[in-house]
């Protein structure tokens, strides 16, 4: 295992489809503005319910990206 240094960013992905889709969207969006995204850790899951039906999933996660010397 290498001796890398990581920075973490807290993001919340959302989806009307599923928790997994919310995670994928959050990681993908972060990857568009941050280089070397390498891992994520889910810290909370919540959602919106209307008339007994889940309408929206929100997943908050810490996303780790490698810090590189500039």
**What does the pLDDT average to over 35-50?**
96
Report the CATH number of the 4-64 domain: 3.30.1660.10
Output the pTM of the full model: 0.87
Position 70 scores a pLDDT of 62
Distance CA 58, CA 8 (A): 19
**What does the pLDDT average to over 41-50?**
97
Q: Where are the domains of the chain?
A: 4-64
Q: Phi-psi bin for 54: left (phi > 0), alpha (psi -120 to 50), beta?
A: beta
Give tens-digit pLDDT for 5-34. Answer: 999 999 999 999 999 999 999 999 999 999
Distance CA 16, CA 22 (A): 8
The conformation of residue 18, written as its DSSP 8-state character, comes to -
Question: Could you tell me if 66 and 16 are in contact, meaning their C-beta atoms sit under 8 angstroms apart?
Answer: no
Q: Which two tokens stand for residue 64?
A: 């780790």
Task: Quickly state the pLDDT bin for 1 (edges 50, 70, 90).
Answer: very low
């Amino acid at each position: 295992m290498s001796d890398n240094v990581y920075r973490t960013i807290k993001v919340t992905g959302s989806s009307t489809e599923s928790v997994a889709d919310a995670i994928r969207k959050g990681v993908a969006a972060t990857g568009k503005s941050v280089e070397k995204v390498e891992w994520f850790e889910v810290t909370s899951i919540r959602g919106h319910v209307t008339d007994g039906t889940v309408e929206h999933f929100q997943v908050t996660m810490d996303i780790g990206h490698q810090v590189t010397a500039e």
